[in-house]
Amino acid sequence: MLIHTTVFAKDYTLLSPDKKITIKISVEKNITWSVLKDQELLLKPSAMSMILNDGRNPGIVPVVSKTISKSVNQTIVSIIPVKNKLIPEIYNELKLRMKGNYSIEFRAYNDGVAYRFVTELGPRPIEINYEEVAFNFKENCQIYLPKENNPELQSHYEADFKPAKLEEIPATQYGYLPLYIATPGGTKMVVTEADLHDYPNLFLYGTGTRTLTGNFPKVILESSPKPNSDRAEIIVKKAVYHAKTTGNRTFPWRTIIISSSDKGLLENEMVYKLARPNTLTGTDWIKPGKVAWDWWNDNNIYGVDFKSGINTETYKYYVDFASAYGLDYIILDEGWSRTTTDLLAPNPQLDIEGLIKYATSKKVGVILWALWKPLDQHMDAILDQYVKWGVKGVKVDFMARADQYMVNFYERAAQETARRKLLLDLHGAYKPVGLNRQYPNVINYEGVRGMENNKWEETITPVHNTTLPFTRMVAGPMDYTPGAMLNTNKDEFHISMTSPMSRGTRAHQASMYVLYDSPLQMFCDNPSNYLREPVYTHYIARFPTVWDKTVALEGKISEYAVVARKNGNNWYIGGMTNWDARGFDIPLTFLDGKKYKIEILKDGINAGKHAADYQLISKEVSAGETLHIDMAAGGGYTAILTPIG
């Protein structure tokens, strides 16, 4: 696993357990690493260092005092299994201890590489003015950079993933992680970070070359509310440093996920593997599940004898719908409270205690929306009141920041909700970095350009939807909020705030319940629309939100994705395509020797004219067979496989 001559050697080589991935480390005037896969040079020597305000500079003029190596081969048991209940954790590690009381740890997995700094500089605070992060790629690779333009490095993490070449990204342009990269030779990579604690998020800038360089949002010393806004802030003063933290600590993992194909990215769980283990002593109360959501459909229910809106009668209607179809929760989004900043006073038209008692009698939990700033200021009082009311979780929204304070807010919110046995759904949020492993009650993250954008723009297309599994979703759970019932083909879409619709077919929407990782999965549309189509609604309501096993079947970024997933004794298949109709022959080799009843929901014969057209087929299959999957333009495919006997 490790090749070197003495502890004073300048060059070290670390191999992955299967010996297909190589990390080469050079220690001279600085420390660099390079990465190869099957002898293809992916990353040329790329430097890493830190500059502290007290003059200490880990990584600059380094001297190795000791090397420590180890191999790990064990299994992680996931408490809330996003992709797999059992996750193999197999890697080789090299730790270089340096003079100056710091180390750098390198890991080589069979599906990626990572490094991080570790400091033993004493318990007193240190201020980090700069961390050098560079990715110097060998080739002018294709890159899907989610571009941002806020000079303060503030972001909702809801940009588009658009293809470009590395050399086309100027020094003025930056993007956030995760970042998809494909070499001309066909190797796929995703750059991201994990185990982020008391430290800001990493952003990557172009250089007009094949190198990307890192930058971090500075610590905010003073801010003021933006006029006429309850959530936006103006930064008045920033520190010169991006983190003030303890001198004894581990820093975030910088990781490159590596795959021979796009398909392999659909199974990757590197961020989860690099995260800290669960710290909660009891987790049986954490219940993933499906949610009826109000905001996307604007509470635009119909066929009732009361005025719909943010009121008790409307939400009892949601509860009745959720109960009838076995959904676990309803969410009361923005508007349930008297004001967005007073999260202890319900809207006068809403009897929150009576509603929760009613929902509890129907075995439906209630999740409440909360603006992050008021929650941050009055967390104990707000969460204690929610517990008294019987609330099951909190959807925290509009953080739109990625600095050190915000990272610490996430962890404090995770701790305090867990202490009260509340779920935490993070919206307006940065990408997953593994907090959901340490605190499994962190049930979902947004940080994605999802379905809500259909209410005001036309960017949410089947091309976008088939890009997300290979980009944003590689980092972790993704609250895209699927379930649109008003479906349109390519040129039929129009914007509506009160009756929003989706682009692509009904079967395309259904496929998201299998393809998209989301332990808290939304039914975003109007319950009245679902109730009009009970056959379809009963079908999609049968999909679990967590999985014992995930098998990637087909995949190509921005074109198509097909996976099989197991939950209990049942298997589920989900496939989606972009605007190109296509078909696949799928050998059912993942099945055991049993016969299965397969219930298929596929694009109807007239889906090209009427996007909501679908067909249901039921038959028997077994492991020796090949299943043909066909999808219309903008279409999808799902199947539920139940063992017979």
Hey, which residues are catalytic here? 397, 452
Residue for token digits 């022959």?
A: 585
3-class state of residue 112 by DSSP: strand
Pairing, β 502-503 against β 487-488 = parallel
Question: Residue 227: CB partners within 8 Å, gap ≥ 6?
Answer: none
Instruction: Copy the structure tokens of residue 538.
Output: 């009963």
Residues 369 and 334: beta-carbon distance below 8 Å: yes
Instruction: Copy the structure tokens of residue 212.
Output: 């990307």
Q: How far is Cα 443 from Cα 80, in angstroms, rounded to an integer?
A: 8
Residues 581 and 635: beta-carbon distance below 8 Å: yes
Residues 375 and 406: beta-carbon distance below 8 Å: no
Q: How far is Cα 126 from Cα 57, in angstroms, rounded to an integer?
A: 12
Q: How far is Cα 373 from Cα 333, in angstroms, rounded to an integer?
A: 16
Angle between helices 352-361 and 379-389 (to 10 degrees): 50
Pairing, β 365-371 against β 582-587 = unpaired
Classify residue 377 by burial, with Cβ atoms within 10 Å: 0-12, 13-18, 19+.
Answer: exposed
Residue 249: how many other CB atoms lie within 10 Å: 16
Q: Which of 482, 542, 470 is nearest to 510 (CA)?
A: 482
Bridge partner residues of 90 (DSSP) = 73
3-class state of residue 77 by DSSP: strand
Bridge partner residues of 581 (DSSP) = none
Classify residue 205 by burial, with Cβ atoms within 10 Å: 0-12, 13-18, 19+.
Answer: middle
DSSP 436-470: HHHSTTEEEE--S--GGGGGT-S---HHHHTTGGG
Cis-peptide into 252, omega within 30 deg: no
Residues 414 and 447: beta-carbon distance below 8 Å: no
DSSP 157-215: S---EEEEEGGGS-TT-EEES-EEEE-TTS-EEEEEEE---SSPPPEEE--SSSEEEEE
**DSSP tag of 337:** B
